[in-house]
Every structure is written in structure tokens, then in C-alpha cells.
Structure 1
Amino acid sequence: MDGLAPIHATRWLAAEAQLNVALTAFGRLPRSRRGPFLVDPGLDTAWWLVPLDAAEELRDLVPIVVRPVDWPLHCPPVDRPAGGRFWHVAPDGSGLLTDPAYLAAAVGPAAGRLPAEAL
């Protein structure tokens, strides 16, 4: 994978979805709840970086596959595309990850409705 670095998920998990599903959900997420979001149009796939405990919260969402701890996500540099991938929202060093409750609401059966804690 030319220009991509395999970054092993040890402080976050990668939540993977088909690109159309991911982009639709991305548009429903409040900016304040959007963490790093990696896109690969050639593979028709995107990944959100989510907290380590997000797997349980997202496990019943058919459109999302949460990759396990230590799974290598092949990433481009944060400032430019590489290997057909680019950061739609790049990691910025703040530690912000995509909020799994909001991601579930954006993708799940009640897509588009905010979680109760947002009200």
C-alpha cells in the first residue's frame, strides 16, 4: 500500500462502513462529535476512529464493522492523500474520537435522530 503506514489500533478502534453509508452518517453527526474520519473511494470504504469501548455500543449496527484492538489501519499522512486514501477529518492531536452514541444514531434504525443525552 504505497504511501500508507499501518497504524495499529491500540488507543482507539476503527469502525468501518461502506462509503455511501459512512458519508451519509458523517453528514448527520454534529461537528463537535466528529473524530478522525478516513476515506478510501477506490475500496468504497471509510473508517471512523472511535473509543476502545465503542465495540459494544456499535455491535448491533449491521452497516458498521468495528475492527479489534491491534488491527492495522493503513493510513496516509494527515496533510495529503496517499494510496487512494485521505483524511476527511484528520487526527489533530487533541485525542477527539467519534462519539459512538452519535455514530449509532446517525447509522442505526433511527438515523438522523440525536441521542437523548444531546437534548
Structure 2
Amino acid sequence: MIYAASISTTPGRTEATATRTTLRVTKGLIWLLEVDFPAGCVGLVHVQIFDGLYQLFPASPGKNFAGDGQLLTYDDLYLKEVAPFELTVVTWNEDELWTHHIQVRVGMA
């Protein structure tokens, strides 16, 4: 199954004022992560994905994904077997003018 979230992040957000989006999933094995940064994001939109307080993606604590006109695809394995069956997608947008839209997709078996 593929779970997806389309996320709009308003301008002027910082990591401290980040938007948090809940992505409901099921019990199972995460085998794929995709983060789609459309052209125009120019590295100003940042993404982190958490299971509770544990930062899943990127695996390096405190780091984040950013891009411009890129589809980031990661084949990974993470067993999600404890409720609540949801992930938290944290996004912030350093752009001072434009809202940016990204899409996050998670493949589970």
C-alpha cells in the first residue's frame, strides 16, 4: 500500500514554527519513502518524518530533506508495529513570499 500526503507550507515558517501533518498508516513494514519537491522550492522547504518522537527520515537527528524539482526516493526498511499507526511529517518554509507544496509518499507491506 502507498500512503500519501500533499502538504502546503506557508511562507516565513522556521523549524520552531513548523507545520505538522499526520499521515495515517497501518501496522507493517515501511519499504519506500518518496518526497516530491516541485520546481520552485529552491531548497527553501524542509521536511522531516517522525514516528512519535523518533526521527525516521532523514535518519540523522536534526537534519532534514530539501530540494528543487526533485523526487527523492529511498528504499528503506522500518517496521511500524506499535500504535498509534501514524507518522508525523514536519515541514517549514524559509521563503518569505510563496507558499510551497510538496508530496510525501510512504510504501508499506
Q: TM-score range by the shorter chain?
A: under 0.3
Using structure 2 for the length normalisation, give the TM-score. Answer: 0.26
Q: Which has the higher contact order (CA 8 A, sep 6+)?
A: 2
Return the structure number with greater strand share: 2
Return the structure number with greater helix share: 1
Using structure 1 for the length normalisation, give the TM-score. Answer: 0.25
